[in-house]
Amino acid sequence: MEVLFLNLKEVTNILKMDIALKAVEKAFYEKGMGRVIMPPKVYLFYEKYQGDIRVMPSYLPTYEISGVKVVNVHPNNPLKYKLPSVMATIILISPKNGAPLAILDGTAITNIRTGAAGGIATKYLARKNASTLSLIGAGVQAETQLLAIVRVRKIKQVKIYDINMKIAKKFQKKFEPQLKIPIIICSSIEECVKDADIISTQTPVREPIIKAEWIKPGAHINAIGADAPGKEELDWEILKKGKVYVDDWEQASHSGEINVPLEKGIIKKEDIKGEIGEVICGKIPGRETEEEITIFDSTGLGIQDLVCAYQVYKIAKKKKIGKKITLF
Amino acid sequence: MEVLFLNLKEVTNILKMDIALKAVEKAFYEKGMGRVIMPPKVYLFYEKYQGDIRVMPSYLPTYEISGVKVVNVHPNNPLKYKLPSVMATIILISPKNGAPLAILDGTAITNIRTGAAGGIATKYLARKNASTLSLIGAGVQAETQLLAIVRVRKIKQVKIYDINMKIAKKFQKKFEPQLKIPIIICSSIEECVKDADIISTQTPVREPIIKAEWIKPGAHINAIGADAPGKEELDWEILKKGKVYVDDWEQASHSGEINVPLEKGIIKKEDIKGEIGEVICGKIPGRETEEEITIFDSTGLGIQDLVCAYQVYKIAKKKKIGKKITLF
């Protein structure tokens, strides 16, 4: 039996943002329809090395595809090993017979599908005429948020803030010519988010850095950074006055933007409007007025990786990309 | 970054039973010492296809190795797809930086490590002078049980029973010349287990097939077959009068040989003597008399796969076996 092996370069060449956006929208739709099998992520903690892995199995019966992503988080990697902090491997599995179909590097997929989630949330929740984007944190997640959001709204101006000004400058240099949109580097978070129609936060902070009074009426916020218990980026006031949507209730309540205020009783389950998938398939309303503030709490779902990996696999097979390896 | 890819043939050539026995003994020892990180298996059920996958992440800090096994169970595979019912893939991961070190076919490892577990349990629990072995079920699990048990006890006679006589004959033809031990095909389970010093059961049945009155005093039983809720092979009476050891309490109580009688209240947690790892590291006694009956309830642990895969990886690296694949 043969399995198709696809490395980071091959995956990156195939998985353009347009493909990822469509794929992630489908995954969220399936989730909204209740047709997804996705047990909670399993964590293995390597305490001695201040790192962990997360194992994410999932199954989409509609598309007859299943898979497992294994992804690590080792913040010391860049300095200590010259390796990325986050690396991932995805095994695609046929639900029909359990055979592995493909093994893909999942590092690029992880980044792109996270951007695509922000893009899809923006598509369904931001004002139709939203035209200014604020990015807090200028790392790889900011890149994919930008690439996704410019595809769902006509963005005329981008502001960016990073604690490390050099990274923000590098970001500007890379994307201003590419997208032909002015990118303004800000020296404070307040300056960056003030007046923005769309805000995307992708930082590893563990306390709110975005204040409620800075957010203009009608804004949409993608809260991307929080992905573990204790992590949060937004002032609780924002969550209290805005309409909050999550990607997955279980995961978000445990490790998403809402986990801390929920645990402290600042907000309650009833304060969360629902899952983005429910908005997509029309079960619950999204934005209803031009003035309300909408928030998308993104924690990252195994099904996002799964649909993207499946798209990559199908295209690679058709175009004969990748290495076929004999398993047995 | 490069990852080492090892297929079934390469793994099989490296993982001889002696290596697997040593590795699994170490894994059980670590378990007994409480130095193992191994969350419960996660199941994904493909109801439409009467199959499932189990995802098994684990970490052995002592050996600084971690990994994830993905293994399916699709009983209809041989007839429908000419594929094995059980196939597995193992990703070996460095706990230091979370990078994948190797991707191995785990199908052979699954079979061999299950045999090795039976072998190690036999080593610690069977009478020293045990010399007759009874195998119930003549499939691939019987092969590895046999190969393991002949390495820990001086076996002079093997009896085998299978519901399909042809499979038993094939088994005899394969192993009698290889091991130079007489293998007797039995036409009933009673005939097969009566007078046996060691009994190994590896069938997929869901109700007891081994009666208590057939078991001779001083016998040791490896109960291998039960690996899911509702499955069992042994008369409850055997579990009540014998000394029962498990590989992992959580897993065995949920899906091992003891799961049904435990659920029905026939036996209680206090009736289980403990885990085989605790016997190996001297925390609890194993066999204490020549007359008592000992039972090992094997469910199969992720750490068994992990140590075996790690041994294979180390030997393959040294001998330059396998394919190096560029991930990124």
ipTM score of complex: 0.93
pLDDT at A80 over 90: yes
Is A69 noted as a catalytic residue in this protein? yes
Beta strands in B194-246 (DSSP E): 198-201, 220-223, 243-246
Has residue B115 been placed in a domain? no
List chain A residues with CB under 8 Å of B90: none
Is the separation of the CB atoms in A104 and A306 below 8 Å? no
Do residues A118 and A259 both lie within one domain?
A: yes
Residue B233 resides in a domain? yes
Interval A144-201: pLDDT, tens = 999 999 999 999 999 999 999 999 999 999 999 999 999 999 999 999 999 999 999 9
- Suggest the residue from A35, A97, A111 to mutate for an interface test with chain B (most B CBs closer than 10 A): A97
Q: What is the CATH number of the domain that holds B59?
A: 3.30.1780.10
Number of Cα atoms under 13 Å in the Cβ half of residue A159: 18
Q: How far is A195 from chain B (nearest CA, A)?
A: 40
- B262 lies in some domain: yes
The shortest CB-CB distance from A99 to any of B83, B96, B98 is to B83
A56 and A203 share one domain: no
- Which ranges of chain B does DSSP label H, i.e. alpha helix? 8-14, 17-32, 77-81, 107-125, 140-149, 165-179, 189-193, 236-241, 249-255, 259-263, 276-280, 302-319
Residue B119 lies in a domain: no
Which residue range(s) make up the domain with B178? 124-300
> Which letter does DSSP use for residue B306 in this model?
H
Residue A126 host element (H or E) = none
Minimal Cβ distance to B83: which of A42, A77, A97: A97
Q: Is residue B312 part of a domain?
A: yes
Residue B103 lies in a domain: yes
Q: What is the pTM of this model?
A: 0.94
Coil, strand, or helix at residue A193?
A: helix
For chain A, the average pLDDT equals 96
- Is residue A76's pLDDT more than 90? yes
CB of A120 closer than 8 Å to CB of A27? no
**Residues A138 and A229 grouped into a single domain:** yes
What type of residue sits at position B253? S
Cβ pair A97:B49 closer than 8 A: yes
Is the domain of B72 the same as that of B151? no
Quick: pLDDT tens for A17-57: 999 999 999 999 999 999 999 999 999 999 999 999 999 99
Of B5, B87, B99, the CB nearest to A87: B99
Together in a domain, B291 and B317 = no
Nearest by CB to residue B326, choosing from A7, A43, A80, is A7
**Residues B135, B222 share a domain:** yes
Domain count, chain B: 2
Q: Is residue B102 part of a domain?
A: yes
* Among A26, A41, A69, A123, the one annotated catalytic: A69
* A19 and A122 fall within a common domain: no
Q: Given this model, what pLDDT does residue A322 score?
A: 97
Statement to judge: residues B155 and B258 lie in one domain: yes
- Nearest CA of chain A to the CA of B79: how many Å? 11
What the block records as the tokens of A325 is 């390896």
pLDDT of residue B327: 84
A270-294 average pLDDT score: 98
pLDDT digits (tens, 9 = 90+) for A243-276: 999 999 999 999 899 999 999 999 999 999 999 9
The predicted structure's pLDDT at residue B1 = 87
Same domain, B196 and B149: yes
Residue B314 covered by a domain: yes
Q: Do residues B265 and B317 both lie within one domain?
A: no
Taking 90 as the threshold, does the pLDDT of residue A1 lie above it? no
pLDDT score of A229: 87
| Residue of B11, B49, B93, B328 to mutate, testing the A interface (most A Cβ within 10 Å of its Cβ) | B328
pLDDT of residue B99: 97
Percentage of residues of chain A with pLDDT beyond 70: 100
Residues of chain B with pLDDT under 50: none
Residue B277 confidence (pLDDT) = 98
Residues of B in Cβ contact (< 8 Å) with A7: 325-328
A97 with A130, same domain?
no
CATH value at residue A255 = 3.40.50.720
Please give the C-alpha separations between residue A154 and each of A123, A127, A131, B299, in angstroms, as whole numbers: 11, 11, 6, 57
Task: Please name the amino acid found at residue A157.
Answer: Q
> Which residues from A are below 8 Å from B95, CB to CB?
46, 48-49, 51
Whether residue A215 sits in one domain with residue A307: no
